[in-house]
């Protein structure tokens, strides 16, 4: 493997990890802001999404309308 190809793969890997971290931070912020706006308790669960506490149970934010 050439030196340039190895450097390009390392840079690509670093950019991918940085993108995933930034995406996660943004999603957590959006979830927290939703809780602030609606005055509800929220938490962000990795690989699941934004969870909202409704009737004592944690429910996905996207499925909250079906519960109400």
Q: What is the chain written as a DSSP string?
A: --HHHHHHHHHHHHHHHHHHHHHHHHHHHHHHHHHHHHT--EEEETTTEEEEEETTEEEEGGGHHHH-
pTM: 0.76
pLDDT given for residue 66 in this prediction: 63
Provide the pLDDT confidence category of residue 16 given band limits of 50, 70 and 90.
very high
User: pLDDT digits over 40-50, tens only?
Assistant: 999 999 889 99
Segment 3-25 shows an average pLDDT of 96
Q: Is the pLDDT of residue 68 over 60?
A: no
Per-residue pLDDT tens over the stretch 23-62: 999 999 999 999 999 999 999 998 899 999 988 889 999 8
Please say whether the beta carbons of 29 and 37 come within 8 A: no
């Amino acid at each position: 493997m050439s030196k340039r190809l190895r450097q390009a793969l390392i840079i690509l890997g670093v950019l991918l990890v940085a993108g995933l971290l930034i995406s996660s931070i943004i999603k957590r912020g959006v979830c927290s802001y939703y809780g602030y706006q609606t005055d509800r308790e929220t938490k962000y669960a990795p690989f699941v999404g934004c969870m909202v506490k409704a009737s004592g149970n944690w429910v996905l934010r996207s499925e909250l309308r079906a519960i109400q």
